[in-house]
Amino acid sequence: MSTLPDTAGPSAALLTDFSQCHVGITGRLKALAGLPALLEAAAQARQLAADSLTFFNEVIEEHHGSEENELFPAVIASAVRGEERDRVQALADRLVAEHRQIEAQWARLVPGLKEAAKGRDSTLAAAAVQTLVDAYLAHAAFEEREFLPLSQTILSRDNNHMAALAVALHMRHTVPAALARWGHRI
């Protein structure tokens, strides 16, 4: 950055020191100019970590519970005894095992996510996050491909079975909310 002519002598060296100082200052200020973008990224990371914690606890765990307590038993009960019911049971067993695996992977991420949500240094490993994402994507794809079409076939044989499942799911979601809101009056 120095614009000083290259001349020898003590005054030239002194002025060169000032010029070099400007190089350091301008370098630091240029780095500072990038700070707002980094702060925005950090704020987004904190929010994503917090939102992910809430989402898993409120949505994914509830979804697994609805499947395990309502959907899977309804399909198993409605399946024709023998080969069909055995297949449904095997699929449900696999899906439940995958739920536990996904939940265990999630549990290992929670401490790092909590730290990230607070804006603290986090030990959240990219490989562990990707393992969870890959496991859930594979789980959902398998369920969509294998279990849900079979469930549709089985439950659609009798409208009462589908209606019973709908009522059970409605009660599962409505009653706890009503009790939370109005429990003291019920």
Whether residues 94 and 19 share a domain: the answer is no
Q: Report how far residue 52's alpha carbon sits from residue 33's, in angstroms, rounded to the nearest whole number.
A: 30
Residue 58: inside a domain: yes
pLDDT digits (tens, 9 = 90+) for 126-185: 999 999 999 999 999 999 999 999 999 999 997 766 666 656 655 655 546 655 666 655
Residue 41: inside a domain: no
Q: Report how far residue 107's alpha carbon sits from residue 101's, in angstroms, rounded to the nearest whole number.
A: 10
Range of the domain at 176: 47-185
Whether residues 67 and 137 share a domain: the answer is yes
Matching residue, tokens 């095997």: 90
Whether residues 112 and 52 share a domain: the answer is yes
pLDDT digits (tens, 9 = 90+) for 16-67: 888 889 999 999 999 999 989 999 999 999 999 999 999 998 889 989 999 9
Whether residues 172 and 86 share a domain: the answer is yes
Whether residues 54 and 2 share a domain: the answer is no
Whether residues 87 and 175 share a domain: the answer is yes
Residue 130: inside a domain: yes
Q: Report how far residue 48's alpha carbon sits from residue 136's, in angstroms, rounded to the nearest whole number.
A: 18
Whether residues 29 and 64 share a domain: the answer is no
Q: Which token pair is 112?
A: 């790092």
